[in-house]
Amino acid sequence: MADFKRAGSNLSSCPPVEKWDDWVEYDSEAWPRRVARRYQLIPTICFNCESACGLLAYVDKETGKVAKFEGNPMHPASRGRVCAKGPAVINQIHDPDRVLYPMKRIGPRGGGQWARTSWDEVLATFGSRIRKALQEGRGEEIMYHVGRPGYDLIMERTLQAWGIDGHNSHTNICSSSARFGYVLWHHADRPSPDHANARFILLLSAHLESGHYFNPHAQRIIDGKMAGAKLAVMDPRLSNTASMADYWMPTYPGTEAAVLLAMAKVILDENRFDKTFMKNWTNWEEADFDGFTAKGQTFEAFIEALKRHYAKYTPEFAENESGVKAGTIVKVAREIAAAGSRFASHLWRGSASGNLGGWQPVRALVLLHVLTGSVGTEGGHSLNAWNKFVPRPFKVPPPQQRWNELLYPPEWPLCTHEMSMLLPHLIKEGCGRLEAYFSRVFNPVWTYPDGFSWIEVLRDEKLVGLHAALTPTWSETAWYADYVLPMGYSSERHDLMSQETHASKWIGFRQPVLRVFQEKQGEKFDYTYQANPGEVWEEDEFWINLSWAIDPDGSMGIRQWFESPYRPGHKITVDEYYGWIFENSVPGLPDAAKKENLSPLAYMRKYGAYEVTTDVYKLNEKPLSSAELDGAKVEPNGLITRQGKPVGVMCNEKAVVGYNTPSRKLEIFSKTLVEWKWPEFALPEYYRSHVDRAAQAASLGIATSNIDRKYMPVVEWPKGANGEVFTLLPIFRLPTLIHTRTGNAKLLFEIAHKNPLWVNPIDAEKLGRIRTGDLLKVHTEIGFFVLHAWITEGIAPGVVACSHHLGRWRVNKDDHIERFSSAWVDLKEVAKGQWKMRQITGVEPYDSSDPDTRRVWWSDAGVHQDITFPVHPDPLSGMHCWHQVVRVERAGEDDRYGDIFVDTNLSHAVYQRWKALARPASGSGTLRRPLWFPRVARPVETAYYFRS
């Protein structure tokens, strides 16, 4: 038996593993009678956010149905604990509105007429269309576009097996800017803070209650606090997280880098930085700025130059920019310096995702880690690559030969991920079309900015030939598909997941619990949809079968990647796919399984997770192996290269692996930015965001010297946009909801179903004595939305905020688009590109197989703000900069709650203004993108060059 304490759980209420096959609980609904229920407990992984927490499904042995979900105590990251969204999976799997069978459009696209079809017909249709496109050399017209991935590697492998550059993701409306900042420093695009062992924790977000890996992180932030760590939170909004902090620093949006650089200046000026770490592990010798060239100079001279460079970022300057008191900035800087190598931080969305140049705070934040030597240390900042484990499958297809400019256009050569939010604009401009488009757990019409531009493209069959929405539920986007293909929830599919949640590497196994349960009773299934509700399929089997449908006789070279490693020439099963990985690619797992007389697959089915290693600190100091050194040479600057590529670095006369950057060091000075036309940002800097007060003033025609049009786009107001100018923060999460993913979890919507506009009392006065509940009209650059005010001191003056989780809608009263959470709307295109939406009713009780749908007592569905935002592509990271300069006024007599108006002609014009800020790759014969930058589904190296 595995050690119950192995996962660090000390919960006494979790059933012990040895009782999972027959766990007895009394039926709470039968009270006061004592009715025993017997359960089979089967582990799986939550699919509601990216944290990948472990769940235990309680399958009632009498009914064969899942009765509830709780935490899996054997999961190394979540340790038996879950947030509200974990147990709410029970609502999702029993949602009477969910999609249970593959559906095919029978009327005009977007017309809402559907008929049930078969999986065989789906496979035949897509198989033949994709085969034809591939045979005609139109691979770029096939695109897979993912919202919530919830897996590792399998789709990149599938698309590369098809030989296409067709992977699109939602990342550039999510985290591209943060990733860009981290990549520039150390190649790894995500941070992995060791909160539990930290002495000081700085969060630039509401991370304790929501956000990236927040449940696993929240536990460890509290562990750290219980052990004496202090917590600082930088956020213009008084979140629950900020309310738990020792220091709340409500920065004006977009000024965070100024505050962080002021802290860096304090640490530098007071000589409280870790000289040895900086000297050994930054590329300071490559620095060339302000007339200072480090080559041939001493480290001390470099530090003096750095001090001179950062002299402008005084705490007083930062106070003036941000509103945070200079004294607080100095105090926090000293606390960080005192924590030294035990300084942890987190910055993922928030300021990074909201602002033009949102990657600058990340550069500045990692500078604090570099100064304190807290990179890769116990209690410090680590790299996702050091704490995440992605095993290799049995056979890896070669990288694709082509480069798809619909994904990585030349204007944004440094973009961290695909420029996904520009897809409608690129298609409208004639950059390409789509023959087969798979939107997968993805709802861009609702989740993305500028959703009406998505509708305009998705409804046009000349632009999008065939669209399949792979989704567990109906959605605003699925409405414009040709096929709606039901995919499974957390307990209805296989996936491997690992995340950089803490100082460990682990792997989790999601599994279809009803199939596993029935197989334990001796049933046999060919496919998971035979065991799932309706014909809900899991994607692994769908993609395997689709690949066979594209290449039925293997002549295209595709089928080989989906043949069994155990039974040559036969179609691989999911048991074989994961069984091979567990047997061959997860160090230690076969031995752990053997100790229990289990196969590695059976071990993972039993426990649902496995901890690979906790030896994860300072991996940059790992010595290069003799195989890695074979044929390598040491350059005069200590860089170790092999076949011209850096593979390591000399440090204290040892050949070590270093970081995966060109210098193999932490790049305080980015030669990449110099070479790619952004020399002014080679060092971590601060420049003003598009929502800066200067931008606000300029939008009203007030001259200001704080604006540099090289960086800051013009804000132009549409006709009729009146009222006071504010910065709108539209991206904060509510702890119980997650985008459209939780729209059909009735218990979660009972808890939270409003997204009013947060307004400071000072601003409420300015707006004409606005009170909570009054209707406000918020004008964006392309339209407006109308919602209620919430007057609160929890938001800084000059800033308004609205959570982005609410405002779902459906165009027909009885459409099954998540009726717990959606309003019935009248949607009209009143003129070309001019869209009007008005709510007819809010949420109402309705009849269904679930009696609770008649008990719905709330009527508010919230207001869909995102659809009124234009795209704002950051010129470097490519991130959509979510924050908005808006005008707010009291709603007029004709305005009603939930009203929306958008002009997509204006949104295209805003896109063009932002595109003009970009600095495109040079073209013909030159590189499209730095070769060392990570890229999803990386093509061959030759594809990185423009054709001459």
Question: By rule CB under 6 A, what string of x and - marks binding of each residue 99-138 to ligand SF4?
Answer: ----------------------------------------
Question: Which residue, 490 or 904, has its beta carbon nearer to ligand SF4?
Answer: 490
Task: Kindly tell me the number of DSSP H helices and DSSP E strands found in the chain.
Answer: 28, 36
CA 367 to CA 436: how far, in whole Å? 44
Query: Residue 581's CB: how many other CB atoms inside 10 A?
Result: 22
CB of 83 to ligand SF4, least distance (A): 3
Q: Which stretch binds ligand SF4 (CB under 6 A): 78-86, 99-107, 157-165, 567-575?
A: 78-86
CA 712 to CA 874: how far, in whole Å? 10
CA 334 to CA 247: how far, in whole Å? 13
Q: Which stretch binds ligand SF4 (CB under 6 A): 82-90, 195-203, 369-377, 475-483?
A: 82-90
Q: Where are the beta strands (DSSP E) in 718-831?
A: 724-729, 757-759, 775-779, 783-791, 799-801, 808-810, 822-831
CA distances from 60 to 20, 26, 63, 270, 751 (A): 12, 12, 6, 64, 27
CB of 52 to ligand SF4, least distance (A): 6
Torsion of CA 236, 238, 241, 242, to 10 degrees: 70
CB of 69 to ligand SF4, least distance (A): 9
Question: Which residue, 44 or 853, has its beta carbon nearer to ligand SF4?
Answer: 44
- Give residues 48-77 in contact with ligand SF4 (rule: CB under 6 A): 48-49, 51-53
Question: Which residue, 508 or 939, has its beta carbon nearer to ligand SF4?
Answer: 508
- Give residues 605-624 in contact with ligand SF4 (rule: CB under 6 A): none
Task: Tell me which of 83, 257, 434, 656 binds ligand SF4, using CB under 6 A.
Answer: 83
CB of 248 to ligand SF4, least distance (A): 23
Question: By rule CB under 6 A, what string of x and - marks binding of each residue 408-427 to ligand SF4?
Answer: --------------------
Q: Give every CB contact of residue 226 below 8 A, 6+ residues apart in sequence.
A: none
Of 150, 108, 142, 128, nearest to 540 (Cα)?
A: 150
CB of 47 to ligand SF4, least distance (A): 7
Task: Tell me which of 37, 75, 85, 816 binds ligand SF4, using CB under 6 A.
Answer: 85
CB of 80 to ligand SF4, least distance (A): 11
Question: By rule CB under 6 A, what string of x and - marks binding of each residue 290-329 to ligand SF4?
Answer: ----------------------------------------
Compute φ and ψ for 749, nearest 5 degrees: -75, -25
CB of 543 to ligand SF4, least distance (A): 23
> Beta strands 505-510 and 495-497: pairing type?
antiparallel
CA 122 to CA 134: how far, in whole Å? 18
Q: Give every CB contact of residue 21 below 8 A, 6+ residues apart in sequence.
A: 40, 41
Cβ-contact 238, 250 below 8 angstroms: yes
Question: Which residue, 87 or 250, has its beta carbon nearer to ligand SF4?
Answer: 87
CA 877 to CA 934: how far, in whole Å? 13
Handedness of CA 520, 522, 526, 531 (dihedral sign): negative
State how far Cα 426 lies from the chain centre: 23
Query: Residue 301's CB: how many other CB atoms inside 10 A?
Result: 14
State how far Cα 287 lies from the chain centre: 33
Question: Which residue, 85 or 145, has its beta carbon nearer to ligand SF4?
Answer: 85
Question: Which residue, 265 or 741, has its beta carbon nearer to ligand SF4?
Answer: 741
Question: Which residue, 214 or 252, has its beta carbon nearer to ligand SF4?
Answer: 214
CB of 490 to ligand SF4, least distance (A): 8
Query: What is the three-class DSSP state of 366?
Result: helix
CB of 745 to ligand SF4, least distance (A): 10
For 505, the enclosing helix (H) or strand (E) is strand 505-510
CA 382 to CA 190: how far, in whole Å? 9
CB of 820 to ligand SF4, least distance (A): 17
Structure tokens at 235: 């956020």
Question: Which residue, 443 or 453, has its beta carbon nearer to ligand SF4?
Answer: 443
Task: Tell me which of 86, 376, 391, 409 binds ligand SF4, using CB under 6 A.
Answer: 86
Q: Give every CB contact of residue 37 below 8 A, 6+ residues apart in sequence.
A: 24, 25, 26, 27, 60, 62, 67
Question: Which residue, 50 or 286, has its beta carbon nearer to ligand SF4?
Answer: 50
In the chain, what's the furthest Cα-to-Cα distance? 84
Of 357, 319, 375, nearest to 187 (Cα)?
A: 375
Counted residue by residue, the chain has a size of 948
CB of 20 to ligand SF4, least distance (A): 19
CB environment 435-459: b (16+ within 10 A), e (fewer): bbbbbbbbbbbbbbbbbbbbbbbbb
CB of 149 to ligand SF4, least distance (A): 13
CB of 51 to ligand SF4, least distance (A): 4
Question: Which residue, 219 or 282, has its beta carbon nearer to ligand SF4?
Answer: 219
Compute φ and ψ for 809, nearest 5 degrees: -150, 160
Question: Which residue, 52 or 445, has its beta carbon nearer to ligand SF4?
Answer: 52
Q: Which stretch binds ligand SF4 (CB under 6 A): 81-89, 355-363, 555-563, 888-896?
A: 81-89
Question: Which residue, 71 or 662, has its beta carbon nearer to ligand SF4?
Answer: 71
Q: Tell whether residue 82 is a contact of ligand SF4 (CB under 6 A).
A: yes
Query: Residue 927's CB: how many other CB atoms inside 10 A?
Result: 15
Question: Which residue, 87 or 486, has its beta carbon nearer to ligand SF4?
Answer: 87
Q: Which DSSP symbol is given to 624?
A: P
Q: Which stretch binds ligand SF4 (CB under 6 A): 44-52, 413-421, 510-518, 768-776?
A: 44-52
Count of chain residues binding ligand SF4 (CB under 6 A):
13
CB of 904 to ligand SF4, least distance (A): 33
Q: Which stretch binds ligand SF4 (CB under 6 A): 42-50, 335-343, 400-408, 454-462?
A: 42-50
Q: Tell whether residue 46 is a contact of ligand SF4 (CB under 6 A).
A: yes
Question: Which residue, 46 or 56, has its beta carbon nearer to ligand SF4?
Answer: 46
Question: Which residue, 146 or 329, has its beta carbon nearer to ligand SF4?
Answer: 146
Q: If you search the block for the tokens 């999601």, which residue do you land on?
A: 510
The footprint of ligand SF4 (CB under 6 A) covers: 46, 48-49, 51-53, 78, 82-83, 85-86, 214-215
